């Protein structure tokens, strides 16, 4: 019987994969047989993750291609170089995101709001439209957007970020309808509070940490690997009948 989680021969492009959730996803996709592209803004950190993954899996599974997701030209270069290296892109994980502002909506500058929307929604729209045509032509592909439970709940400190994450969920639903006839699946993962550098301002704040864990059934925050497993599922044959969904992984925080 075929391994439902086997990704041998598949190629995956993961943005924001030099640390945190993106790095964990890249590690686990490579562990399950995929070739992976490590991408974030800084070349040196991308190279370090590339070397780490290749050393652990014992093959040249990973390459590094730095890119700034705010630049359409940089994303075009990222896609072109990935195709040049691997010949195709079977799996796209849109993980990179920005949140330059923490506080009430009324205190946010226009430039900060614009940056959040561009990096967290528009860049995903650009990148997906650069990659989807080849997937649709092959009648096979998996696209995963890393969203957040912030897109499901009101917040008084992460307003624009939460808006962007709700929009990512709707983007996945729309594209699942558009791409479904060509067997291209589009889903989002909505993590709760995860112990990453990106979320450090949240889990290092005692009041926020308490609010996130006190009533949640598991009474703790999550680890990047606990998100990576879902990305493997959605990218693999195990997830071949799943599309247009938002999978919440939050230790039960949103059930109370």
The residues facing 37 across adjacent strands are 13, 63
Alpha helices in the chain (DSSP H): 20-31, 43-57, 72-86, 110-117, 123-138, 159-179, 200-203, 206-213, 225-235
CA-CA-CA-CA torsion sign (34, 39, 43, 49): negative
> Do residues 39 and 17 touch, judged by C-beta distance below 8 A?
yes
Q: Catalytic pick from 161, 169, 171, 189? A: 161
d(CA 226, CA 247): 12
Q: Is 161 a catalytic residue?
A: yes
Instruction: Say which residues have a Cβ less than 8 Å from residue 84's Cβ, sequence separation at least 6.
Output: none
Chain-centroid distance, C-alpha 79: 16
* Cα torsion angle, 166, 25, 9, 233, sign: negative
Residues 6 or more apart whose CB falls under 8 angstroms from that of 93 comprise 12, 13, 14, 15, 17, 22, 25, 29, 143, 144, 145, 146, 231, 235
Say how far apart CA 246 and CA 9 lie, in whole Å.
Answer: 27
Residues taking part in catalysis: 161
């Amino acid at each position: 019987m075929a391994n439902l989680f086997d990704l041998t021969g598949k190629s995956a492009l993961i943005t924001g994969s030099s640390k945190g959730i993106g790095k964990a996803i890249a590690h686990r996709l490579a562990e399950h047989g995929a070739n992976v592209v490590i991408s974030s803004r800084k070349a040196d950190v991308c190279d370090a993750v590339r070397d780490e993954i290749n050393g652990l899996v014992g093959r040249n599974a990973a390459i590094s291609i730095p890119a700034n997701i705010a630049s359409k030209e940089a994303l075009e270069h990222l896609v072109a170089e990935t195709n040049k290296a691997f010949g195709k892109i079977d799996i796209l994980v849109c993980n990179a995101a920005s949140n330059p502002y923490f506080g009430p909506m009324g205190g946010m500058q226009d430039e900060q709001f614009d940056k959040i929307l561009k990096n967290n929604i528009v860049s995903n729209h650009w990148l997906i439209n650069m990659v989807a045509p080849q997937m649709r032509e092959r009648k096979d592909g998996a696209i995963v957007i890393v969203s957040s439970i912030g897109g499901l709940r009101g917040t008084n400190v992460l307003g624009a970020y939460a808006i962007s994450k709700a929009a990512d969920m709707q983007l996945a639903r729309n594209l699942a309808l558009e791409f479904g006839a060509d067997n291209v699946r589009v889903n989002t993962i909505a993590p709760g509070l995860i112990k990453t550098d990106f979320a450090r301002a949240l889990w290092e704040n005692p009041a926020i940490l308490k609010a996130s864990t006190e009533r949640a059934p598991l009474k703790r925050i999550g680890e990047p690997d606990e998100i990576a497993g879902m990305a493997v599922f959605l990218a693999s044959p195990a997830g071949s009948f799943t599309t247009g969904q938002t999978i919440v992984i939050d230790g039960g925080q949103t059930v109370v």
